[in-house]
């Protein structure tokens, strides 16, 4: 941490009363999200403060449901998808450490039950929706009445991309500039796009060898290409937001795909190299490029893993479902 850096506890403490009053139970849902303009790299790692602003689309009703209640046994219990988690395991430790920023020294043992309804076949990360749902549930459980900006900032401290999962629809996370990060928060864009579809193509479910957090750190520390990334991401964000506002599908898709490929170029040029692609990922990319050559408006984006997310409009859905038999289709605005 640099000299002016602040810890999560210091920042969160300022907004939480020292004596908490807890409800019987609370429950919250937060959607998963996919970035069209990626967050890649931190200017400050303790608070997950990014080097660039990013823009995502939330996945409607797909995400995490978190329920909090009192543990009458006197010992915290963490459940994930109906399974009690090992208290020493990494999931429980992450959840409890985060809850402790709110609960501090107070003896309020809790049962924290998280259920993800993201299809397991989809190959999507759940940390964004998980931390966002946890912050929303804590806010309700302790009746904190945090503002949307504070909720987004606290979710970001759990995982950067969770700052965007506080909202549905299109969401922009502004990088901010304050040392305490309270201006590094997301907000919803007032835009709908009912025709927009996202196709999830899972090519592997193996645990990724290097998670996003370490991948980002390695890239910023060792890739010479990274120095160009913040400026490109800044320009891409403007292009993508304008394309969304004017419903320019090709402009939006092309810029999102270019942004993802540019992020992967910084990963590939890290040392040791970070290549998240598998041969099957490349085969899907090549098929997408062929389909585009033949006049079909389809683009892809990819995160720190081998799976692809296709972007297309409803008019191409049937054709693309026939092309990619293993694809799960999400219509982010269908239920709104």
Q: Which residues bind ligand DP6 (CB under 6 A)?
A: 35, 38-40, 48, 54, 127, 159-161, 212-213, 303-304
What is the CA 188 to chain-centroid distance, rounded? Answer: 14
User: CB 294 → ligand DP6: shortest distance, Å?
Assistant: 29
Q: Which is nearer to ligand DP6, 110 or 304 (CB)?
A: 304
Nearest-approach distance from CB 288 to ligand DP6, in angstroms: 19
What's the min distance (Å) between Cβ of 149 and ligand DP6?
Answer: 18
Q: Where are the strands (E) in 100-220, listed by range?
A: 110-116, 170-173, 186-188, 196-201
33/63 Cα distance (integer angstroms): 8
Q: Is 313 helix (H, G, I), strand (E, B) or coil?
A: strand
Give the nearest distance from C-beta 214 to ligand DP6 in angstroms. 8
Q: Closest separation between CB of residue 85 and ligand DP6, Å?
A: 19
Q: Which is nearer to ligand DP6, 44 or 323 (CB)?
A: 44
Q: Which is nearer to ligand DP6, 51 or 161 (CB)?
A: 161
Please check whether residue 69 is in contact with residue 53, taking contact to mean a CB–CB distance below 8 angstroms: no
Residue indicated by tokens 């859905």: 317
Closest residue to ligand DP6: CB criterion: 160
Measured CA to CA, the distance from residue 322 to residue 284 in angstroms comes to: 14
**Please, which residue, 188 or 317, has the CB nearer to ligand DP6?**
188
Residue 56 or 85 having the CB closest to ligand DP6: 56
The DSSP result for 4-53, as a single string, is T---HHHHHHTTS-SS----SEEEEEEEEEEEEE----EEETTTTEESS-
């Amino acid at each position: 941490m640099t000299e002016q850096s602040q810890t999560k506890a210091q920042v969160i403490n300022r907004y939480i009363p020292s004596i908490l009053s807890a409800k019987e139970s609370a429950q919250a849902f937060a959607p998963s999200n996919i970035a069209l303009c990626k967050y890649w790299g931190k200017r400050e790692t303790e608070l997950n403060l990014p080097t660039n602003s990013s823009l995502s689309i939330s996945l409607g009703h797909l995400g995490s449901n978190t329920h909090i209640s009192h543990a009458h046994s006197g010992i915290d219990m963490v459940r994930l998808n109906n399974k009690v988690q090992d208290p020493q395991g990494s999931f429980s430790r992450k959840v409890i450490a985060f809850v402790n920023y709110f609960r501090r020294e107070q003896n309020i043992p809790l049962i924290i039950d998280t259920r993800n309804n993201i299809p397991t076949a989809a190959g999507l990360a759940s940390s964004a929706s998980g931390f966002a749902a946890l912050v929303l549930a804590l806010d309700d459980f302790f009746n904190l009445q945090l503002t949307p900006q504070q909720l987004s900032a606290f979710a970001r401290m759990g995982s950067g991309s969770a700052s965007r999962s506080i909202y549905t629809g299109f969401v922009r996370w502004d990088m901010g500039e304050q040392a305490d990060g309270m201006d590094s928060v997301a907000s919803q864009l007032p835009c709908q796009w009912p025709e927009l579809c996202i196709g999830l193509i899972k090519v592997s479910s193996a645990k990724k060898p290097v998670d996003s957090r370490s991948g980002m750190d390695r890239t910023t520390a060792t890739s010479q290409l990274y120095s160009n990334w913040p400026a490109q991401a800044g320009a891409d964000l403007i292009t993508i937001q304008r394309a969304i506002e004017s419903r320019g599908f090709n402009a939006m898709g092309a810029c999102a795909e270019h942004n993802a490929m540019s992020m992967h170029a910084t990963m590939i040029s890290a040392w040791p190299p970070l290549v998240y692609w598998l041969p099957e990922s490349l085969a899907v990319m090549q098929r997408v490029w062929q389909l585009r050559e033949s006049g079909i408006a389809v683009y892809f984006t990819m995160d720190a893993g081998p799976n692809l997310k296709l972007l297309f409009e409803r008019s191409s859905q049937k054709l693309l479902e026939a092309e990619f038999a293993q694809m799960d289709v999400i219509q982010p605005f269908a239920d709104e």
